[in-house]
């Protein structure tokens, strides 16, 4: 099968991309509005950028009316945010925060989630999240326009909260204890507990986890 993306409708292209570019980690992003109201929403176009400077990115696509998502509106006004990671135990709560609430209404309250103060940024983090990554805005790169267009939010990592409960005896994060969920296509998700190891070839990157 050959798919010509220059002829596909954006909605069809999105379906094929999200069904094949998998599994995708989920950035559960908390922000605040200019008047201090918290917002929380999940995004599965999410990845690290580099470690010097420590940076990550996530991509809020435009709404169905072509407008900006609340998360992006908040970050443009208050250029700080927290990326909370999503374990299996919080999957249902994460999903409930994707509901289209009126601007300014708290997804923390809607999902029954407790916020916790961040160390270096103003938006709160999800208290129950095993990892929360505090960021300041580096830049926003707009890709396309209208419905389905992307806004690449690049953040500078300034602090990270890691729960002791997800650490192994060696002091490193144990992926099985972390038990994150990842996005597939449609309503499908997966857990990241099925882990295997492959040693890198000699002479590879010196920056190894």
Is residue 1, in this structure, part of any structural domain at all? Answer: no
Is residue 5, in this structure, part of any structural domain at all? Answer: no
pTM for the full model? Answer: 0.94
Query: Residue 40 pLDDT more than 70?
Result: yes
- pLDDT, tens digit, for every residue of 79-120? 999 999 999 999 999 999 999 999 999 999 999 999 999 999
Query: Which domain CATH number covers 27?
Result: 2.30.110.10
Domain range for 182: 22-191
Query: Residue 150 pLDDT more than 70?
Result: yes
Is residue 58, in this structure, part of any structural domain at all? Answer: yes
- pLDDT, tens digit, for every residue of 155-179? 999 999 999 999 999 999 999 999 9
- Number of compact structural domains in the chain: 1
Is residue 171, in this structure, part of any structural domain at all? Answer: yes
Is residue 208, in this structure, part of any structural domain at all? Answer: no
3-state SS record for the chain: CCCCCCCCCHHHHHHHHHHHCCCEECEEEEEECCCCCEEEEEECCEEEEEECCEEEEECCECCCCCCCCHHHHHHHHCCEEEEECCEHHHHHHHHHCCCCCCCCCCHHHHHCCCEECCCCCCCCEECCCCEEEEEEEEEEEEECCCCCCEEEEEEEEEEEEECHHHECCCCCECHHHHCEEEECCCCCEEECCCCCCCCCCCCCCCCCC
Is residue 185, in this structure, part of any structural domain at all? Answer: yes
Confidence of residue 204 (pLDDT cuts 50, 70, 90): low
Is residue 6, in this structure, part of any structural domain at all? Answer: no
């Amino acid at each position: 099968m050959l798919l010509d993306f220059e002829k596909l409708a954006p909605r069809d292209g999105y379906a094929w991309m999200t069904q094949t570019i998998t599994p995708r980690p989920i950035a559960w992003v908390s922000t605040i509005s200019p008047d201090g109201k918290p917002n929380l929403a999940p995004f599965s176009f999410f990845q690290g950028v580099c470690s010097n400077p420590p940076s990550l990115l996530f991509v809020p696509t435009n709404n169905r009316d072509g407008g900006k998502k609340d998360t992006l509106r908040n970050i443009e006004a208050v250029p700080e945010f927290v990326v909370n990671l999503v374990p299996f135990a919080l999957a249902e709560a994460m999903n409930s925060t994707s509901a289209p609430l009126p601007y300014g209404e708290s997804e923390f309250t809607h999902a029954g989630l407790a916020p916790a103060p961040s160390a270096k940024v103003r938006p709160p983090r999800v208290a129950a999240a095993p990892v929360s990554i505090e960021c300041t805005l580096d830049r926003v790169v707009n890709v396309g326009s209208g419905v389905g267009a992307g806004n690449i939010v690049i953040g500078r990592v300034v602090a990270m909260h890691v729960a002791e409960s997800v650490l192994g005896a060696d002091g490193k994060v144990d992926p099985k204890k972390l038990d994150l969920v990842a996005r597939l296509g449609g309503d499908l998700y997966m857990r990241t507990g099925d882990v295997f190891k492959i040693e890198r070839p000699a002479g590879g990157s010196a920056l190894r986890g």
